[in-house]
Chains A and B, each alone.
Chain A
Amino acid sequence: MTLHTRTVAELGQGLRRREYSAVELAQACLGRLESAQVELNAMITITAEQALAEAAAADAALAAGRAGPLAGIPLVHKDIFCTEGVLTSCGSKMLANFVSPYDATVVARLKAAGTVMLGKANMDEFAMGSSNETSFFGPVRNPWDPRRVPGGSSGGSAAAVAARLVPAATATDTGGSIRQPAALCGVTGLKPTYGRVSRYGMIAFASSLDQGGVITQTAEDAALMLGAMAGFDPRDSTSVDMPVPDYCATLARPLEGLRIGIVREFFDEGLDPVCEQPIRAALAEYERQGALLREVSCPNLPLSVPTYYVVAPAECSSNLARFDGVRFGHRCERPRDLMDLYTRSRGEGFGAEVKRRIMTGTYVLSAGYYDAYYLKAQRVRQLISQDFARAFEQVDLLAGPTSPTPAFALGAKVSDPITMYLNDIYTIGANLAGLPGLSIPCGFVGGLPVGLQLIGPHFSEALLLNAAHRYQLETDWHRRVPSAWA
């Protein structure tokens, strides 16, 4: 019985019909996760024993008719989410020995819905990277071509779903870390509105930008997962107290009359011309379904990368000040004094890119530079947000590419941080403005997947998922599996 290519929705039906048990499903996925490690390195920790116990509990709940909506669905969590009693490394040497004493709210909610955690997915260190090459635990490889990167920072989550090791993975997105790896791996990735999903227990990188979300095969699965993850959490002071709609109920709505804005600035000279054709074809499919396409402009959007590389490092330098070698995390050997303890523990525990961002942030916040860099960036951020707000007066959704290029070769961009940062040129805007966005597979170039990005107004996840689902009903890009993993 082939289980690994099935979606969350399909697996849920099979489990309820007792075609297979949650334990059998967990065993099948665990086998694939373990055997894929050598080639893909998608995981930091595999929690087989705990997974089988959770699966047995799901089977008992299914038998007793008291199962949660996602009972028995196997998944992996990005290693940025705290998981009680399980190593939570955030891809860093700094936390290579950190066993979380509690569950993140996202983890607790998905557990309550009945999901079975199979382990913790690899990621860029502290989610700082666009290729998964900054992980202390080694790079993740792209299932479509193991010489190429899976994107980042949620590279392990995207690769695990793309190779059909698991049907779903949690992920986080600060500047594109869900959508860009989803695009590069040919899977569906949803970044919700800022505040929609609790950040409690999600190790902080840039608190005004970070948002948890999900990577799945389909928009339907993303709707199922988001429904379980989203909602108000008093433990996150930026969590928004708004009801969570039934995202599945509106998935199939026709798109007749939907106004889709094609963002002029997303089709700039940075976009690899070979990627433009599948994006244009996807837009034509929307037009065929009755959507109205019109060009819109967000003139300040080209400034989103420099804005982000002031705001995000500033928040990172503050958030990562907590790693002091005293309360948890890496501590240097034989410190001479307290200053030596701090500086050597941090110098040894953080990798090169994390140190670069901490120092960039320290610099832009330091005396004499705060106004010129940090305050200026927050003003430009306001302009970018206003551009989006004006666009949404004319259209319902925005569309464009997720990433300027398909997956690039391992090592190709590690020596030049600016080149690496420009990978996120089309995704960062949504984070700066707090908007929800998703990426869906829309074609291939040279055997590598291309992602279409949709961005909506605040709290428009239902519409985004609806638009993505309707596209997936008429196309099969999201059903393609790399031949080595079919």
Chain B
Amino acid sequence: MSLTRADIERIAHLARLNLTEAEIPVYVDSLSRIVDFVSELERADTGGITPMAHPLPGLRQRLRADVVDESNRRDLYQRNAPATQAGLYLVPKVIE
């Protein structure tokens, strides 16, 4: 099976990736080959097999107590932000 240009454009949109005109045919080709490659999994007999949910058998995701254990470090974290004002992150206008 092969992916089309429209497939790549749809996937790129879902992934919020802007692709250049030159990139599109490259990904049509390489993603098609990857999808063909992973389709090899179809030949494995997985009847009655539970999908693996955790790499360590018998272990589950631990939950922590619902208590505040971090202090507010907003100003420190916002030093890495491209644009902030008065403690807020700036983005293009969303609501007219």
A208 sits at the interface (CB 8 A)? yes
Contact of A300 among B13, B14, B15, B44 (CB under 8 A): B44
**Complex Cα spacing A418 to B79, Å:** 40
Contact of B52 among A317, A342, A382 (CB under 8 A): A382
Contact (Cβ within 8 A) A347 B55: no
**Complex Cα spacing A101 to B27, Å:** 36
Contact with A along B54-85 (1 / 0, CB 8 A): 11110101111000000001001101111100
A480 sits at the interface (CB 8 A)? no
A99 sits at the interface (CB 8 A)? yes
**Complex Cα spacing A164 to B52, Å:** 41
Contact of B40 among A238, A303, A327, A364 (CB under 8 A): A303
**Complex Cα spacing A336 to B80, Å:** 22
**Complex Cα spacing A98 to B33, Å:** 34
Contact (Cβ within 8 A) A356 B49: no
Contact (Cβ within 8 A) A101 B52: no
Contact (Cβ within 8 A) B83 A331: yes
Interface SS of B by simple majority: loop
Contact (Cβ within 8 A) A376 B46: yes
B87 sits at the interface (CB 8 A)? no
Within 8 A of B (CB), among A301-329: 303, 305-307, 309-310, 317, 321, 324-329
Chain B residues in 8 Å Cβ range of A375: 51
Contact (Cβ within 8 A) A342 B16: yes
A18 sits at the interface (CB 8 A)? no
Contact (Cβ within 8 A) A359 B8: yes
Contact (Cβ within 8 A) B17 A346: yes
A224 sits at the interface (CB 8 A)? no
A355 sits at the interface (CB 8 A)? yes
Contact (Cβ within 8 A) B81 A433: no
A441 sits at the interface (CB 8 A)? no
Chain A residues in 8 Å Cβ range of B61: 237-238
**Chain B nearest Cβ from A239, distance in angstroms:** 8
Interface SS of A by simple majority: helix
Supposing A343-B16, A417-B33 touch, asked if A359 and B80 sit within 8 A by C-beta, the answer is: no
**Complex Cα spacing A305 to B12, Å:** 24
Supposing A359-B27, A378-B52 touch, asked if A310 and B38 sit within 8 A by C-beta, the answer is: yes
Contact (Cβ within 8 A) A343 B17: yes
Within 8 A of B (CB), among A373-419: 373, 375-383, 385, 389, 417-418
Within 8 A of B (CB), among A422-460: 431-434, 458
Contact (Cβ within 8 A) B38 A377: yes
B30 sits at the interface (CB 8 A)? yes
**Complex Cα spacing A366 to B8, Å:** 12
Write the chain B residue with the least CB distance to A305. B37
Contact (Cβ within 8 A) B31 A382: no
B41 sits at the interface (CB 8 A)? yes
A292 sits at the interface (CB 8 A)? no
Chain B residues in 8 Å Cβ range of A234: 64
* From B38, B53, B63, B73, residue with most partner A Cβ within 10 Å: B38
Supposing A98-B80, A303-B40, A359-B17 touch, asked if A237 and B62 sit within 8 A by C-beta, the answer is: yes
A267 sits at the interface (CB 8 A)? no
B91 sits at the interface (CB 8 A)? yes
Contact (Cβ within 8 A) A101 B37: no
**Complex Cα spacing A379 to B57, Å:** 14
**Chain A nearest Cβ from B26, distance in angstroms:** 8
**Chain A nearest Cβ from B82, distance in angstroms:** 4
Within 8 A of B (CB), among A357-374: 358-360, 362-364, 366, 372-373
Supposing A208-B54, A359-B27 touch, asked if A380 and B15 sit within 8 A by C-beta, the answer is: no
Contact (Cβ within 8 A) B34 A99: no
Contact of B18 among A307, A346, A377, A379 (CB under 8 A): A346
Write the chain B residue with the least CB distance to A335. B92
Contact (Cβ within 8 A) A377 B64: no
Contact (Cβ within 8 A) A309 B15: no
Contact of B82 among A303, A325, A352 (CB under 8 A): A325
Contact (Cβ within 8 A) B76 A101: yes
Chain B residues in 8 Å Cβ range of A352: 23, 26
Contact (Cβ within 8 A) B56 A358: no
**Known A194-B55, A306-B39; further 15 A-B contacts with Cβ < 8 A:** A97-B80, A238-B61, A309-B34, A326-B91, A327-B77, A340-B18, A340-B92, A347-B17, A356-B30, A360-B34, A362-B11, A385-B52, A385-B57, A417-B34, A418-B34
Which 10 residue pairs across A and B have the least CB separation, nearest first?
A: A434-B55, A347-B18, A378-B51, A331-B82, A379-B46, A343-B18, A328-B80, A362-B15, A382-B52, A306-B38
The chain B residues found within 8 Å of chain A, CB to CB, are 3, 7-8, 11-20, 23, 26-27, 30-31, 33-35, 37-42, 44, 46, 49-57, 59, 61-64, 73, 76-77, 79-83, 89, 91-94
A-B contact pairs, 9 of them (CB 8 A): A101-B73, A208-B54, A326-B82, A327-B89, A346-B16, A347-B18, A363-B3, A372-B42, A417-B30
